[in-house]
Amino acid sequence: MADLLGGITARTVETDRLNVRVLEVAGRTGTPVVFVHGNVSSSLFWQRAMLDLPGEFRPLAVDLRGFGGTDPEPVDATRGVRDYSDDVAATMAALALGSAHLVGWSLGGGVVLQLLRDRPELARTVTLVNPVSPYGFGGTRGTEGELVDGSGAGSGAGGANPDFVRLLGEGDRTADSPLSPRQVLLSCYVKPPLRPELEDTFVESMLSTRVGEAHYPGDTVPADAWPGVAPGRSGVLNALAPTHFRLDDLPTVTPKPPILWLRGADDQIVSDTSLFDLAYLGSIGAVPGWPGEDSHPPQPMIAQTRAVLERYAAAGGRYDEVVFPDTGHSPHIERPAEFAAALRDFLGKE
């Protein structure tokens, strides 16, 4: 892989579910740290964070199904993100890792939380980096994640911008459109005016996303409620729909490993005013027909995550929240030294 940094190696791991591409740091044999990437990306986004870990840790980053070099198996969205979390567990088993420190970004945050929910014995610690809300993405209100409509309208694949999906599928590498992968990287993944050092690598990573109903964004079904579409049964955005993905029972997990929540203060993707939430876009006039604040308020994504983590702590767990100022959706890219220090400090205590 031409986009690998020095010291990073790649291999394909055969599991009992599918073949998974894994990045590693050459020669490391310490305590495993498993990194899980976000939506429309791949393990390539984790390389600097992997290299920055001290020598007593063994960093590994996986490509989720349908991204990077992992088999493009379809995503059964009716299982929420369990296709992804079960794949990660299978990869850990194939590599005989036992338990590991789990680090998940965005979608990957939901994946590692699902793994914690289903297989808590595999998690030494959990680090969440700008994670999706425990109540999914779109279609809910309030800190308890109440569905705005029983169909899940306002969430799922119908929330994807069709021009972005088209340009992603066409492999567009230009900056000609504000909805090209490159421009979305520069305007939403990081806070402008930052130009990441590995910008071209990240664009290639984004373009490794498989596009279609089985992958990104997924299928849709019509809905009577605004905005007229509801999540279907396949694909990544439907896997994050609150009708399929909910982790409000996370406080019941035993044992409860410590959780570190890292996030950028100016995230435009996962926030209480997300530019990717149809309800928020409706509230600012960007999506027509918005019924109003009373029935369709923007999803309070940060408040929802904090509410679930506070209940986790009240039930005997522990979490710490670190907010990086002047930072967007990707603190591991935007503030690599500070991110590495926060992660090292957390892992070093456990």
What does the pLDDT read at residue 281?
97
pLDDT (average), residues 272-281: 97
Question: Radius of gyration (Cα) for the chain, nearest Å?
Answer: 19
- For the domain made up of 8-147+245-348, the CATH class stated in words is alpha beta
For the entire predicted model, the pTM comes to 0.98
pLDDT (average), residues 148-165: 97
**For 309, phi and psi rounded to 5 degrees?**
-70, -35
pLDDT category at 124 given cuts 50, 70, 90 is: very high
Q: Is the pLDDT of residue 284 over 70?
A: yes
110: three-class secondary structure by DSSP: helix
Could you tell me which of 81, 77, 80, 93 has the C-alpha nearest to residue 18?
93
pLDDT (average), residues 270-286: 97
pLDDT (average), residues 282-310: 97
Q: Which residues contact 286 (CB under 8 A, 6 or more apart)?
A: none
Give the residue ranges of DSSP H helices in 30-121: 47-51, 82-94, 107-118
For the record, the structure tokens of 185 come out as 């990287």
Q: Which residues contact 319 (CB under 8 A, 6 or more apart)?
A: 258, 259, 260, 261, 309, 310, 312, 313
**For 260, phi and psi rounded to 5 degrees?**
-110, 125
pLDDT (average), residues 238-250: 97
Q: Which residue ranges make up each domain of the chain?
A: 8-147+245-348
